[in-house]
Chain A
Amino acid sequence: MAALPVKSQNDTVSTPAPTVLIIEDEPQMRRFLRPALEGQGYRVLEAATAADGLVQASSHNPELVLLDLGLPDGDGLDVTRRLREWSTAPIVVVSARGQEADKVAALDAGADDYLTKPFGMPELLARLRVAERHAAQVRADVVDPVFEASGLRVDLATRRVMRDGQELHLTRLEYKLLATLVRYAGRVVTHRQLLKEVWGPSAVNESQYLRVYMTQLRHKIEKDPARPSLLTTEIGVGYRLCAESVALAPD
């Protein structure tokens, strides 16, 4: 936080743009990410190695980190852990398909979300937006008590769940599960995180609990539970409560 006054001095000319640090060893990835992100109003920092990434992160204190998991000089998981020792900036990890275990490990180590290569720009921007908003909420220590998307309305203050204006009846655990996903709306939440928050630390390996309750929840919430639009499965990783309609809504 000590870096903040310095930064505001530098940024006096334009509106404060969020800084994204890209830690990625492939130059062609950085080549397309930089203009694409700058076009969206982000300030972009680049690092090609884990070591440089950590140095840049500590000297510039970026608002967002985009981290490739396959770095030549150390694994991204380690970078995630090291960053989390002192920084709360959201980390979005990027990895290849088939590395589900790595993604889960990075998410459990404190990363906020992930993208699988190849990914499209809209997907990347959506992830960054969600991560940014979530970080802002954590900083301000306020959670929007009402979640609304695709006809679903969850009021955390009154513990009411409405679907197209109709009150839904959820069991205690179903509600707890939904409320947890609402708090992380738009972000992927790993099986482990969900099990820990809803069932407690001793149940982190009982993924069948989660699967059964998630199916029940879908049948109550989704229009077509076999083609979910709200409670989507990130296979091998976890679940996501899609909140894009909220993100796109005018503030």
Chain B
Amino acid sequence: MTPARQDPDALIQRLQSEQRRARPGKLKVFFGAAPGVGKTYSMLEAAQHMRSGGADVVVGWVDTHGRPETAALLAGLELLPRRQAKYRGVALEELDVDAALLRRPALLLVDELAHTNSEGSRHRKRWQDVMELLDAGIDVWTTVNVQHIESLNDVVAQITSIRVRETIPDSVLEQADEIELVDLPPEALIERLRQGKVYLPEQAQRAVAHFFRKGNLLALRELALRSTAERVDADVRAYRREHGITDTWPAAERILVCVGPGPHAARLVRAARRMAAGLRADWTAIYVEIPSHARLPQEDRDWVTQHLRLAESLGGRVATLSGESAGETLLAYAREHNATKILLGKPTHSRWRDFFGGSLLDQVIRGSGDIEVHVSSGDPVEGASRRPPAILNLHSRPASYLGSLAAVALATAVAFVMNGHFQTTDLVLVFLLATTYVAVRFGRGPSMVAATLGVAAFDFLFVPPRFTFTVADVIYLPTFGVMLVVGLIVSTLAARVRERAEAARAQAQWSATLHAFARELAHARDVDTIAAATVGQIEVALGGPSTVLVARNEGALTMIPAASGFAVDENEAAVARWAYEHARQAGQGTDTLPGAVALYLPLQSGARTLGVVGFRSADGRPLTEANRRQMLEALAQQAAGALERALLAEEAEQIALRARTEELRNTLLSSVSHDLRTPLAAIVGSATALLTPDGALTAPQRTDLVRTIQDEAEHLSRLVANLLAMTRLEAGQLAIAREWVPIEEIVGSALVHFGSRLDTRRVDVRIAGEIAMAHVDPVLVEQALVNLIENAVQHTPAGTPIEIVATQDDAWLEVEVLDRGPGLPAGSEARVFDKFFRGPGARAGGSGLGLAICRGVIVAHGGTIEASNRAGGGTVVRLRLPVGGKPPAIPAETDGGLTGEESE
């Protein structure tokens, strides 16, 4: 088959797996068949070799178990201090991940990869610590035994009868860049054990004799050798693939494994993983939810979640489907995804159930066509209790049984009335009617009770001899039988209808939730709205508070406040940060930082992680139900899509803004370079003239030169201030800090700003309503007024008057600045507020920015500004600012005591 057969998903997954292998840090695993083969020893020996070659080697965690020859190898190696953890009063030591990240050695040694960390650690497992170190670019050497490999777990348990609890996912081993097999023949190992050279943890000591039997060791050794060989084989294939050698490229196999509720499927998942590894195939674990699963107890649903998680951790994909028939749904999915093999568990129930319900196995085999179907043993694993089959699950509310009792009583009453007018056997129909009603209304359990009670009541009340359970005529026995069987069948059918309706309702609700969310998001344009919609929708769908954190500006996570969102404290933020950086779920109910109070899901769109959504369940318990968790994931995914849109828009806007600012800066620079040079030339000229030593200057001339320096420097200062103000305005960095201010105060401040420069003119100020206040930014409005007055001063002859008139009503504050200068050239009334506009004959030295800044400030306040010529000559500039509501009340003075009156 050609590679074209692969579907895009598979390609993406392959790419991702290659990315995963391309971690910055390299992983080397010292792999052994059993404890005591000398993995730690080999690792330390190799490390010593590296160190003598000048490499930066640090020991993160190595346990020598008191063996002197191993301990001797630690000499000269830098030891990373261990993290001291305390759990239930027991002092424990763990690998200190943070210290390792801080120290950043080139190579870190971490013994015993399969170790489970103590409660309260960042990760539940040590291999997760190692992954984080690799991600951070630190090379890691580690050791592991074959029995710790997840997919070999069952096999090892079968060989040795000891189930190892500490396992690592196969994918970890696959990601290793190098695997070194540390091999020791079984005889030598047994000898070492006898000499007491093998350390064993206490709990294993009881099993020692059993475990270290030669047969076991041979089998384990074979397993280890085979795993290593498979790995070498994989490396060869990878090499061929990378170098375009495709002639032996195997057909793309895809394996589906069907998991169900109950503990057995874990073994099935592991088998699928082994099969997939052998075939280099993709594999997917599938759970088909059929309507009858709706009444499964929570415990069984949790099993499904666990199996799917196991599959994920083993490197498989996971899908949850729902449909009427498990077989048909599974086959449809298999065809759609070009599956080549389907793996099913052996049935564990009795055959009569297949007779009524149809067998999944039978359905799949018949409909499989060219897809191979494998059946694997589904024996219960040790420790898992067999649960009664779901068909006998009669959990119904007591009220339902009372209802069933009432229905039978009513049927009895009706039958009592009918009795005598109809044949006795016809009364049976009345009881069947009651049974059917109960089945539809209350479900299976109550309807079975109704059927039984019906038979009893019929027998007791109507079958002669009446009022005894004795039956006189044998002819009634088949009637009883048929009555009971029909009742049971009806109740089963009715119950199934009910379950389907409920499943359909749940499905509809799920779709409706997602649909509603999609619609809501379609209208959301900005990050805040999307966050609010997400938090709102999660609250509705899952009944708990959530929070959205978005990464802006290269990774700083900021919380987006939303109405019902919960606040994230420092600890929780660290968990969120982890989830964001690693693009994996973390927090409550996961393997990473499970001590957190909330569950954090990365918001991923494509390859990009945009942020994190945190969810805290209302009851404080982890979110374990598969369907609720899937709902949260689905909502997070939708939110991520919308967020990406919004963030892209935000970024585009920022880029546009930067471009605009940049353009403005260039224009400003080219436009004002002349204006900057003129005053500088005057200053430099005057200063050098003053420094000329020949004493030719008279005292008044010197004073004049000094004054020139002062005037031009002040001019320069105004120019720079205007440039800065303009840049800030155009860059959108203008923050308006509104306060209630009387306009008189602003006008006064602006006039004081000019000091003695206005002494040569008459300045009339007329302000109507002295204490009328407006809600404006006093600093900015003053600046606008200063610019207007400056403009009037510069463009009118000395000695002409300037007027400032302010009026105010409830809505608008109007300020006019009037002069008696030459007025505006016709047609330029609107253009005077443009940047760099200069009136003809404008005095050199204006930058053409003053009025543009003025307009910027006024427009930012929601006001307007206009200029026109005055009757009788001159210009009037009129600005209107919204008052901004009703000013706050000022408490009146109570005592009203006045100075001068109260004294003496």
Specify which of A100, A207, A214, A215 lies most central, judged by the most chain B CB atoms within 10 Å of its CB: A215
| Smallest Cβ-Cβ distance to A161: which chain B residue | B899
Contact B745 A207 (CB under 8 A): no
B551 sits at the interface (CB 8 A):
no
Q: Which residue of B752, B765, B779 contacts A236 across the interface (Cβ within 8 Å)?
A: B779
B897 sits at the interface (CB 8 A):
yes
Give chain A residues whose Cβ lies under 8 Å from the Cβ of B745.
211, 214-215, 233
Contact A235 B763 (CB under 8 A): no
| Smallest Cβ-Cβ distance to A226: which chain B residue | B765
Known: A169-B900, A207-B740, A208-B739. Is A227-B893 also a contact (CB below 8 A)?
no
- CA distance in complex: A214, B742 (Å): 10
Contact B747 A159 (CB under 8 A): no
A97 sits at the interface (CB 8 A):
yes
Q: Which of B146-154, B420-428, B561-569, B766-774 contacts A (4 or more CB under 8 A)?
A: B766-774
Q: Mark A168-206, 1 if CB is under 8 A from B, else 0.
A: 111111010000000000000000000000000000001
Known: A118-B713, A208-B740, A225-B744. Is A168-B782 also a contact (CB below 8 A)?
no
Give chain A residues whose Cβ lies under 8 Å from the Cβ of B752.
227-228, 232-233
| Smallest Cβ-Cβ distance to B804: which chain A residue | A226
Contact A159 B903 (CB under 8 A): yes
Smallest distance from the beta carbon of A39 to chain B beta carbons, Å?
15
Q: Mark A89-121, 1 if CB is under 8 A from B, else 0.
A: 000000001101000000000000000001000
B778 sits at the interface (CB 8 A):
yes
Query: From residue 141 to 173 of chain A, which have CB atoms closer than 8 A to chain B?
Result: 158-161, 167-173
Smallest distance from the beta carbon of B900 to chain A beta carbons, Å?
5
Give chain A residues whose Cβ lies under 8 Å from the Cβ of B728.
98
- CA distance in complex: A159, B902 (Å): 9
- CA distance in complex: A183, B284 (Å): 83
- CA distance in complex: A161, B887 (Å): 30
Interface residues on A, range: 35 or more
Smallest distance from the beta carbon of B356 to chain A beta carbons, Å?
77
Contact A226 B898 (CB under 8 A): no
| Smallest Cβ-Cβ distance to B777: which chain A residue | A236
A1 sits at the interface (CB 8 A):
no
Contact B748 A233 (CB under 8 A): yes
A7 sits at the interface (CB 8 A):
no
Give chain A residues whose Cβ lies under 8 Å from the Cβ of B748.
218, 225-228, 232-233
Known: A169-B900, A172-B895, A219-B770. Is A236-B742 also a contact (CB below 8 A)?
no
| Smallest Cβ-Cβ distance to B741: which chain A residue | A211
| Smallest Cβ-Cβ distance to B901: which chain A residue | A169
Q: Which residue of B724, B751, B782, B897 contacts A172 across the interface (Cβ within 8 Å)?
A: B897
Contact B771 A215 (CB under 8 A): yes
Q: Which residue of B742, B746, B747, B896 contacts A212 across the interface (Cβ within 8 Å)?
A: B742
Give chain A residues whose Cβ lies under 8 Å from the Cβ of B804.
226
Q: Which residue of B717, B888, B896 contacts A208 across the interface (Cβ within 8 Å)?
A: B888
- CA distance in complex: A30, B893 (Å): 50
Q: Which residue of A100, A168, A228 contacts B899 across the interface (Cβ within 8 Å)?
A: A168
Give chain A residues whose Cβ lies under 8 Å from the Cβ of B901.
169
Known: A168-B899, A170-B898, A233-B752. Is A226-B767 also a contact (CB below 8 A)?
yes
Give chain B residues whose Cβ lies under 8 Å from the Cβ of A235.
746, 749, 778-779, 782
B890 sits at the interface (CB 8 A):
yes
Interface of A is mostly: mixed
- CA distance in complex: A224, B763 (Å): 11
Give chain B residues whose Cβ lies under 8 Å from the Cβ of A234.
749
- CA distance in complex: A173, B114 (Å): 77
- CA distance in complex: A224, B896 (Å): 25
- CA distance in complex: A173, B891 (Å): 11
B721 sits at the interface (CB 8 A):
yes
| Smallest Cβ-Cβ distance to A178: which chain B residue | B899
| Smallest Cβ-Cβ distance to A173: which chain B residue | B893
A216 sits at the interface (CB 8 A):
yes
Query: From residue 697 to 727 of chain B, which have CB atoms closer than 8 A to chain A?
Result: 713-714, 717, 721, 724-725
Give chain A residues whose Cβ lies under 8 Å from the Cβ of B725.
98
Contact A232 B749 (CB under 8 A): yes
Smallest distance from the beta carbon of B211 to chain A beta carbons, Å?
66
Specify which of B748, B751, B891 lies most central, judged by the most chain A CB atoms within 10 Å of its CB: B748
Smallest distance from the beta carbon of B892 to chain A beta carbons, Å?
10
| Smallest Cβ-Cβ distance to A98: which chain B residue | B724
Give chain B residues whose Cβ lies under 8 Å from the Cβ of A169.
898-901
Give chain A residues whose Cβ lies under 8 Å from the Cβ of B721.
97
- CA distance in complex: A209, B889 (Å): 9
Contact A227 B765 (CB under 8 A): yes
| Smallest Cβ-Cβ distance to B749: which chain A residue | A233
- CA distance in complex: A208, B749 (Å): 17
Q: Mark B858-896, 1 if CB is under 8 A from A, else 0.
A: 000000000000000000000000000001101101011
- CA distance in complex: A81, B380 (Å): 73
Smallest distance from the beta carbon of B289 to chain A beta carbons, Å?
59
- CA distance in complex: A40, B897 (Å): 47
Smallest distance from the beta carbon of B614 to chain A beta carbons, Å?
34
Known: A118-B717, A233-B749. Is A171-B771 also a contact (CB below 8 A)?
no
Contact B890 A208 (CB under 8 A): yes
- CA distance in complex: A184, B474 (Å): 119
Smallest distance from the beta carbon of B752 to chain A beta carbons, Å?
5
Specify which of B895, B898, B901 lies most central, judged by the most chain A CB atoms within 10 Å of its CB: B898
Contact A236 B778 (CB under 8 A): yes
Smallest distance from the beta carbon of B763 to chain A beta carbons, Å?
7
Contact A171 B896 (CB under 8 A): yes
- CA distance in complex: A211, B738 (Å): 14
Smallest distance from the beta carbon of A44 to chain B beta carbons, Å?
23
Give chain B residues whose Cβ lies under 8 Å from the Cβ of A160.
899-900, 903
- CA distance in complex: A224, B728 (Å): 35
Contact A227 B763 (CB under 8 A): yes
Smallest distance from the beta carbon of A185 to chain B beta carbons, Å?
17
Smallest distance from the beta carbon of B487 to chain A beta carbons, Å?
78
Contact A171 B903 (CB under 8 A): no
- CA distance in complex: A171, B741 (Å): 21
| Smallest Cβ-Cβ distance to A166: which chain B residue | B900
Contact B751 A227 (CB under 8 A): yes
Smallest distance from the beta carbon of B758 to chain A beta carbons, Å?
9
- CA distance in complex: A233, B895 (Å): 28
| Smallest Cβ-Cβ distance to B778: which chain A residue | A235
Give chain B residues whose Cβ lies under 8 Å from the Cβ of A212.
742, 771, 773, 890
- CA distance in complex: A234, B746 (Å): 10
Q: Mark B427-452, 1 if CB is under 8 A from A, else 0.
A: 00000000000000000000000000
- CA distance in complex: A232, B749 (Å): 7
Q: Which residue of A159, A167, A209, A211 contacts B742 across the interface (Cβ within 8 Å)?
A: A211
Give chain A residues whose Cβ lies under 8 Å from the Cβ of B767.
226
Known: A211-B745, A215-B742, A233-B745. Is A159-B751 also a contact (CB below 8 A)?
no
Query: From residue 225 to 243 of chain A, which have CB atoms closer than 8 A to chain B?
Result: 225-228, 232-236
| Smallest Cβ-Cβ distance to A216: which chain B residue | B771
Contact A171 B893 (CB under 8 A): yes
Smallest distance from the beta carbon of A212 to chain B beta carbons, Å?
5
Known: A169-B899, A208-B887, A212-B890. Is A226-B773 also a contact (CB below 8 A)?
no
A residues contacting B by CB (< 8 A) are 97-98, 100, 118, 158-161, 167-173, 175, 206-209, 211-212, 214-216, 218-219, 224-228, 232-236
21 CB-based A-B contacts, threshold 8 Å: A100-B779, A161-B900, A168-B899, A169-B898, A170-B898, A170-B899, A171-B896, A171-B897, A171-B898, A172-B893, A175-B899, A206-B888, A207-B739, A215-B771, A218-B748, A226-B744, A226-B767, A227-B763, A233-B745, A233-B746, A233-B752
B residues contacting A by CB (< 8 A) are 713-714, 717, 721, 724-725, 728, 739-742, 744-749, 751-752, 763, 765, 767, 770-771, 773, 778-779, 782, 804, 887-888, 890-891, 893, 895-903
Known: A208-B740, A226-B751. 16 other contacts (CB 8 A): A118-B713, A118-B714, A158-B903, A159-B899, A160-B900, A161-B900, A168-B900, A169-B900, A208-B773, A208-B888, A212-B771, A216-B771, A219-B770, A225-B770, A227-B752, A228-B748
Can you list the 4 inter-chain pairs with the closest CB atoms, starting with the nearest? A226-B765, A208-B740, A233-B749, A236-B779
